[in-house]
Amino acid sequence: MKRFFLLILFCLAGMTSLAFAKTPGEVEVGGFLREAQMQGLSGPSKKLSAFRGKPLMINVWASWCGPCREEMGSLQRLSRRYGGKQFDVIGISTDDYPDRAAAFLKQSRTTFSNFIDSKLFLENMLGADRLPLTLLVDAQGRVIGKFYGAKQWDGPEALEITAKAFRIKMQP
């Protein structure tokens, strides 16, 4: 019986380390994002480097992801209030079907630039093994923060995190 429990504990320990394994080619906090061609979903295709020179918030999402759908409104409000002025906000869909992602953007009235990652390059580079994922990236392309799970991005707590990370002033 003891052997059985030890075997189960050993298996569970192995599974937990796998659950937190990094995605292939993941850029960790402190690392610089590599160049990537991003396929436009709600506008033209662009290179990731087109967003250098200003801090950038990248939200990785999918139309089938409940928490992603839940936080999209707060990202839209944040983008309307601050996007393009002090920093940019972009979204990257991991949907397999671009039409479903585009339909969600239309339904949610999302106006900030969104791209689709059909080849999983961005998903892997950004570390999106769980959704939603939001990255804060400095003006030089260095990842300065990664946040998994839905957040109220236009709420006081998230505004404070964003302002501190980007070293800017934001009113709650």
Domain CATH number, residue 49: 3.40.30.10
| pLDDT of res. 105 | 97
| pLDDT of res. 1 | 45
- pTM (2 d.p.): 0.86
| pLDDT of res. 172 | 66
CA 15 to chain centre: 25
Q: What is the DSSP letter of 31?
A: S
Query: Does some domain include residue 8?
Result: no
Range of the domain at 110: 26-166
Query: Does some domain include residue 3?
Result: no
Digit-coded pLDDT (tens) for 51-105: 999 999 999 999 999 999 999 999 999 999 998 889 999 999 999 999 999 999 9
Query: Does some domain include residue 155?
Result: yes
Query: Does some domain include residue 21?
Result: no
| pLDDT of res. 18 | 41
Cα–Cα distance, 117 to 40 (Å, whole number)? 9
Q: Does the pLDDT value for residue 114 go beyond 70?
A: yes
Query: Does some domain include residue 10?
Result: no
| pLDDT of res. 83 | 83
Cα–Cα distance, 88 to 128 (Å, whole number)? 20
As for how many domains the chain has, the answer is 1
Query: Does some domain include residue 46?
Result: yes
Query: Does some domain include residue 14?
Result: no
| pLDDT of res. 118 | 83
